[in-house]
Amino acid sequence: MDDLTQDFRELLGRPPRLLLAHDAPQELERLQSLFAHDCEVFGAGSGAEALDLARAQWPDLALLHACLPDLGGEALCRLLKSDPALATMPVLLLCEQPLDEAGERGALEAGAADLLSPPWQAALLRRRVRNHLAQKLQGELLHELAFVDGLTGLHNRRYFDERLECELNRGRRNGTPLGLLLADVDCFKLYNHYQGHQAGDNALLGLAVALHSSLKRPGDLVCRAGGARFAVLLPETEMAGAERVAQRFEEAVRSLRIPHEHSSVPGGGLSLSVGGVVCVPGACHHGAGLMAAAEAQLQEAKRQGRARSQLQAA
């Protein structure tokens, strides 16, 4: 799978992630050795372990024994496909024997992308996995095109809303904190008015690069939320970490030294106000409510004079 692995590394910045599940340790070891040199592999000995790993690691493809003792192939497929973060993940089932028409129909209706009957030849397994990974990668590229802001190259608000729901679900399951920031360029309408919209677009592009470069972890996300506003997701981040990110954003924008002599902020340059919230997601936390809470903090930062950050627990 060398070519495909290279495509993943170039486009996603990492190798493909495979979830392998088999209740026979020797078979699981054989599967792991088959893919470990060119993929990031997660091995599970039961259906419950496979489900936990899938929700924690977000693999690109799952190759599962269809007869795991605690969860049958169909039941495990349905559970995986019911999770929005895993709904597009191809699931390949390793069957102990060829299925009849009813068995095949049941597995496919449950969400299986492919059924493999014995003998499970190594070359065939790798080819099937490669084909399904290639299809998934193509789908993700088309998905990306629909969720990218045309000016800045960042993801757009639609993508942010989708990721927010996924991160809320993951935080509820794992009991981990989630930070959400809204950043707005101060007095940007005046900048556009006096400098022109082309200068405004150039400034936004520079800001987008600066904000994206300020994020240090692969799972952190900054999106253009519209106009001169950016939205940020910080999974597994407590208040102190979110405050550090907000401060890095402010410093990154100041370091660009883009003149803005009509700003109400002292110093005569473009600046950023940031509002945000941090929570451990529970049943009472929803995307719209967190966005509203972050917006309230952003407005408070502006009320206090702009060019600052204001965060609270939610």
Greater confidence (37 vs 293) lies with 293
**213 and 85 fall within a common domain:** no
Residue ending a domain, choose from 83, 111, 146: 146
Query: Domain containing 114: what range?
Result: 2-146
**Residue whose pair of structure tokens reads 């992630």 in the numeric block:** 17
**163 and 305 fall within a common domain:** yes
Q: What is the mean pLDDT of the chain?
A: 91
What sign does the CA torsion over 264, 268, 270, 271 have?
negative
* CA-closest candidate to residue 34, choices 22, 47, 48, 20: 20
Contacts of residue 161, defined as CB under 8 A and 6 or more positions apart, other chains included, come to 287
Contacts of residue 114, defined as CB under 8 A and 6 or more positions apart, other chains included, come to 90, 92, 93, 128, 132
Residue ending a domain, choose from 88, 113, 146: 146
The pLDDT, as a whole number, for residue 164 is 95
Given a cut of 70, whether residue 291 has pLDDT beyond it is: yes
**186 and 287 fall within a common domain:** yes
The pLDDT, as a whole number, for residue 120 is 78
**59 and 17 fall within a common domain:** yes
pTM of the predicted structure, to 2 decimals:
0.65
**142 and 161 fall within a common domain:** no
The pLDDT, as a whole number, for residue 146 is 84
Residue ending a domain, choose from 109, 125, 146: 146
- Identify whether 151 is part of a domain: no
Given a cut of 80, whether residue 4 has pLDDT beyond it is: no
Question: For the chain, what is the domain count?
Answer: 2
**48 and 121 fall within a common domain:** yes
Q: What is the CATH number of the domain that holds 294?
A: 3.30.70.270
Confidence of residue 3 (pLDDT cuts 50, 70, 90): low
- CA pair distance 22, 31, nearest whole angstrom: 9
Helix (H) or strand (E) holding 60: none
- Identify whether 245 is part of a domain: yes
